[in-house]
A and B are shown apart, each in its own frame.
Chain A
Amino acid sequence: MSIRRIDPHAERIRRNRLHPRHHEFARPAWRWTSADGVTRINPHVLGAIGPNGVKRIDRSGASVEPSSVSASQVSAELTRRQVVIAEPAGYVLVVPELAEGRLSDHDRDLFGLARQLADEHQLAVTAVTFDSAVNGLEEAGADRWLDLSVGFEESAENGAYCPEVRLAGLERIEAALAPAHWLFADTFPGGGDLGRRLAARLSILSDGAEGERAATRVWQVADGKSLSRAGDRQDIQRDVPRVLLALPECAEPISETLHEARPMTLDVSMVALDIDAGLIDTGLIDRGRVAVDPQQIPLAQAPFILSAGRGIGDWEGYHHAARVLGASEGASRVAVDDGNMARTRQVGATGTFVSASCYIAVGISGAVQHLQGIAKCQRVIAINSDPSCDMVKRADLAIIADGDAVLAALCERLGQPRAADEPREELLHDAA
C-alpha cells in the first residue's frame, strides 16, 4: 500500500495562474494519482501520430517529446542549491593541488571533506590558491577564496618550486584566521610536501612540549574521528586534528550545492616584503625542469603518448614523428605481434595501462582491451581512415585520414621533415 503524497508547492502553483511556472504544472497530466491512491493514465494525451497516421505510444523513450514537465525536471537537476555563509563561525582552509591549473578529482574530494567538517559548525570552506586563474571553485564547494598569487608574483613565477615562500604565506593566514582545519592533498611533491612543512612548523609554534601531529594519508572522516593509513597494514583512528593530508576519494565531492567562492583579502604584502628583503631563507633554489627522454619514462606514467597500430605502414616515419613531437611511443597488440614494436610498448589490458594526459592513436581501431588500457587518459586523439571504428567514438578529436601521410605532414609543419633526417637513404630509394 503506497502512501499518496501531495506536493503542496506544486498544487499551489497549479491553482495560481499568475505564477511564473504555472504552465509547467498546469499541462494536462497523462498520469496522475487519484484520490484513492490509484495511478490513472490518460492515453489520449500520450504519444504522437506516426508517419502513417497511426498514433504511437513509445515507452522506450527513444523519441523525445518536447514536454515542458520533463524539461523542468532536467533544469531542476542541473540547478544546484545556492549556499551563502555570510558570517562564518570559523574557517576550514583547503589548499588544492591544482595540477595544470585546474581542479582535479582529488581536489574536489578535498572540498567534499572540508564541507563535511565545516557544515556541522557553520564554518566557511576557504580555498587557498597560488594561482589567480582558477575556475570551478563555486561548484567544488568553496565559500571563500584566498588568492595568494597577488603578493608573490616576483618571487614565485608560475609553477616554480618555492615551498618555503608558500609556507610563509600559509603561516600568515594561520595567524590572521586561526582556521579550524587545514586540508591538503597527500601527494608528493605538491600538497603532501607543503602540508607536512606547515604541520611541522605549527607543531613547533604551538610549543609546550610538542604540538598536535598532523594526520597523513587520511581516507575517511566519520563521527568526529579520522581514519588514516599507517605503515604495516594498520589504520590510525584518532580525533580529527587541525592539519589533515588526505588521500584521493577521502569524501564524496559536492554535487548538490553551489557556493559563492567570495574572494577574501588578507594583507599578505608583509610576506612579499619579507621575501624581497631576502628575510625568508628558503635554502632551496629551483633550477627548472630537466628534459627527460620520453622513451625512458615508464609507459604507465608517460604524459604524452604517440601510439601506433596496424594502420601504420611507414614505421621509420612514425618513430621520427614521435621524436619530433617529444612523445613516448606506444603500440597496439597487432603492431607488437607483427614485430614492429617491442612488447614493453604495448598499451592495453594485456600490456600497460597508461594514464597519459594526451594519447594519440594512429591507425588503431580500438579493440576493447586497448580502450580499457587508455581509460585513464584525459585527451585522446584518433587518426584513422575508418570513421566508424571504436577509437573514433572514444576520441576527443578524430581525424579521418591516412596515418602515415598525416604524420609526415605533421613533421613537415613542425619544421623537421623526415627527408632532412636521413637524406642519403631517401636519395638511394629515389634513384632505385
Chain B
Amino acid sequence: MMPRDDANALSVIALVSSGRHPVSGRAGRAREDARAVEMGLALAGSALKLAHAGAADDGALRECLEAYLGMFHGLEDDRPGELSLLALKSEDASADDAVPALARWLADSGAQLVLTGQRAECGEGSGMLPYLLAERLGWAVVTGIAAIEQVDDDKATLLQALPQGQRRRLEVSLPCLIAVDAVAPAPRQSAFGPSRRGRISIVDGVEASPDLPRGAWQFQPARARPKRLKVVKSTNARDRFKAAAAKSSASGGQVLTDLTPDQAADKLIGYLRKEKILREEKVLTSVEEKTNADQ
C-alpha cells in the first residue's frame, strides 16, 4: 500500500469522533477512528481530509479533534492536517442528527473512499452511521476492515477481519464507506506541533435536522450485566447437589490405548478430518509452499 503519486485522483476522507479512554474515561482520540486515520494517512498521505459533525463551540471536542490533526507527521510532505467541522446549529448539538448533514456534505465532497471506526465511543455508539450514510448515498459499505491492500480507479481490495484471527479478501467498488476494525495497524502517536498547525474549518449552513427518535430514549449509567448462573434443571436434590459440587470435566471422552504410533496418527488424522479441522487442500497448499521455498 503506497501513497499514490496523483493525490488528486483519489480523495480519501476519514470521519472522526471524540473518544473516551476505556479505563480512565479521559477524552481523546477514539481508538478505532484513530486506526482509520492511520489507514488513511498510509493511503493518501497528507491529502487525507478529516471530518466531524458536532457542536462548533465545544472546547473539549476541539481538543479531541486536534489530537487527530496531531497525527499528520512523518509523511512525505509536511502539509498540516485539515478537518471540516460540520456545525450542527441546534442549541443542544447532541440532539441533532449527524447522518443527514454528513450525507449531504459527503455527496458534495466528491470523496471516493470514506474511512471510519466501527463504533463510536461516545453517545449512541450503535455502529449504524456507515450503514445509514451508505444507504442515503447509495454507496457500498464494508465493516471490520483490517487492511487496505490496493486501490484502483474504480475498486479497492480490502482485507476483512474474521473471528479467530482469520482474514478474507474483498473487492469493493468505489465510492465506498469502510469501517475499520480494532485489529487494523496501530495508529501513530499524536504530536503537539502538528496538532497546533492543523486547521479546523467550520462548515456552516448545514441543514441540521433534529434527532427525533432519540428524544424518546432514556440514557442511564451502564449497569453491570448479571452473570449467568449455571442452573441445573432437575427434580431431585441429589442431582442438583452433585452438579453444584462436581468438578467440571468433560465426560464421554474417547480413550485409545495400546496403539502403535502409526495407528495413533491414523486415528488422529481421522478425527481431525471428521471435525473438518484438517482439510485435504490445506495439506496440499503447505506442500506447495514447501516446494516453492525449496526452489
A contact set with B: CB distance below 8 Å = 61, 70, 73, 76-77, 99-100, 161, 187-189, 192-193, 196-197, 199-201, 203-204, 209-210, 212-217, 219-220, 227-239, 249, 252, 255-256, 282-292, 296-298, 301-304, 323-326, 355, 357-358, 360, 375, 379-381, 383, 387, 392-402, 405-406, 408-410, 412-416, 421
Q: Is B134 an interface residue (CB 8 A)?
A: yes
**CB-based closest 7 A-B pairs:** A231-B125, A297-B165, A283-B140, A409-B265, A287-B169, A405-B261, A200-B131
Closest to B220 in A: A235
Q: List 10 A-B contacts (CB under 8 A).
A: A73-B236, A217-B126, A233-B25, A284-B173, A290-B159, A302-B164, A393-B253, A406-B268, A408-B261, A421-B290
| B262 at the binding interface (Cβ < 8 Å) | yes
- Cβ contact within 8 Å between B165 and A302: yes
- Complex formed: what's the CA distance from A192 to B118 in Å? 11
Given contacts A203-B132, A213-B126, contact A409 B233 (CB under 8 A): no
Q: A234-B221, A284-B172 are in contact. List 5 more A-B contacts (CB 8 A).
A: A193-B143, A231-B125, A375-B248, A387-B257, A396-B254
- What 0/1 readout, one digit per residue, does chain B (257-274) give for beta carbons within 8 Å of chain A? 111111011111101100
- Known interface pairs A203-B132, A290-B167. Does A77 touch B283 (Cβ–Cβ under 8 Å)? no
A235-B222, A303-B164, A410-B268 are known contacts. Are A284 and B125 too (CB-CB below 8 A)?
no
Q: A301 contacts B163, CB within 8 Å?
A: yes
Residue of B nearest to A237 (CB): B218
Given A61-B238, A232-B20; A287-B171 close (CB under 8 Å) = yes
CA distance A285 to B25 in the complex (A): 40
Q: Is B225 within 8 A of A219, CB to CB?
A: yes
Beta-carbon contact of B181 and A188 below 8 Å: yes
Q: Is the CB of B124 within 8 A of A230?
A: yes
Among B119, B236, B266, B275, point to the contact of A358 (Cβ < 8 A). B275
Report if A398-B256 is in contact (Cβ < 8 Å); known contacts: A73-B235, A235-B223. Answer: yes
Beyond A196-B128, A415-B283, is A238–B264 a contact (Cβ under 8 Å)? no
Which of B40-48, B194-202, B209-217 is the contact stretch? Answer: B209-217
Contact of B269 among A237, A297, A302, A414 (CB under 8 A): A414
CA distance A408 to B264 in the complex (A): 11
Could you say which residues of chain B place their CB within 8 Å of the CB of A255?
233
Considering the chains assembled together, what is the distance between the CA atoms of A372 and B142 in angstroms? 37
Contacting pair A325 B278 (CB below 8 A):
yes
Question: Which residues of B come within 8 Å of A, CB atoms?
Answer: 20, 25, 97, 118-128, 131-132, 134-136, 139-144, 157, 159-173, 176, 181, 209, 212-213, 216-223, 225, 228, 233-236, 238, 248-250, 252-262, 264-269, 271-272, 275-278, 282-283, 285-287, 290
Task: State in angstroms the CA–CA spacing of A230 and B134 once bound together.
Answer: 22
With A196-B128, A232-B121, A291-B285 known as contacts, the answer to whether A237 contacts B170 (CB < 8 A) is no
What is the minimal beta-carbon distance from B278 to any residue of chain A, in angstroms?
7
Q: Which of B119, B165, B266, B278 contacts A301 (CB 8 A)?
A: B165
Distance (Å) between the CB of B243 and the closest chain A CB?
12
When distances are taken between beta carbons in the complex, the residues of chain A under 8 Å from B256 are 397-400
Q: Are B121 and A285 in contact (CB under 8 A)?
A: no
Determine if B135 and A203 form an interchain contact, defined as CB atoms under 8 angstroms apart.
Answer: yes
- Of A214, A297, A301, A360, chain B has the most CB atoms within 10 Å of the CB of A301
- A234 and B172 contact, Cβ closer than 8 Å, known pairs A399-B259, A400-B255, A415-B283: no
A125 to B16, CA, bound (A): 39
| Closest beta carbon of chain B to A380's beta carbon, Å | 7
Which residues of chain A are within 8 angstroms of B126 by Cβ–Cβ distance? 213-217, 228, 230
Q: CB-CB < 8 A to A76: which residues of B? A: 235
Chain A residues with CB under 8 A of B168: 161, 286-290
Q: Which of A204, A213, A301 contacts B213 (CB 8 A)?
A: A213
Q: Which residues from chain B contact A249 at a C-beta distance below 8 Å?
A: 225, 228
B179 to chain A, nearest CB (A): 9
- Asked if residues A233 and B222 are in contact (CB atoms below 8 Å), the reply is yes
Q: Hey, which chain A residues are within 8 Å of B159, CB to CB?
A: 290
In the complex, what residues of B have CB within 8 A of residue A200's CB? 128, 131-132, 134-135
Q: Is the CB of A401 within 8 A of B163?
A: no
Q: How far is the CA of A413 from the CA of B271 in the complex (A)?
A: 14
Contact check, A400 vs B128: say whether CB atoms are below 8 A apart. Answer: no
A381 in contact with B218 given A231-B122, A292-B167, A297-B165 (CB within 8 Å): no
Contacts of B124 in A (CB 8 A): 230-231, 236
Min CB–CB distance B30 → chain A (angstroms): 9
Q: A161-B168, A235-B220, A303-B164 are contacts. A412–B265 as well, Cβ < 8 Å?
A: yes
Complex Cα distance, B258 from A399, in Å, reads 9
Given A288-B168, A414-B283: A238 touches B217 (CB 8 Å cut-off): yes
Given known A324-B286, A399-B259, contact A236–B219 (CB-CB < 8 A): yes
Least CB distance, A425 to chain B, in whole angstroms: 15
- CB B18 to nearest CB in A, in angstroms, measures 9
Chain B hits for A252, CB < 8 A: 228
How distant is the Cα of A297 from the Cα of B139 in the complex, in angstroms? 32
A289 touches B167 (CB 8 A): yes
**A360-B253 Cα distance, complex, nearest whole Å:** 14
Determine the residue in chain B with the shortest Cβ distance to A378.
Answer: B275
Q: Contact at A188–B118, with CB atoms within 8 Å?
A: yes
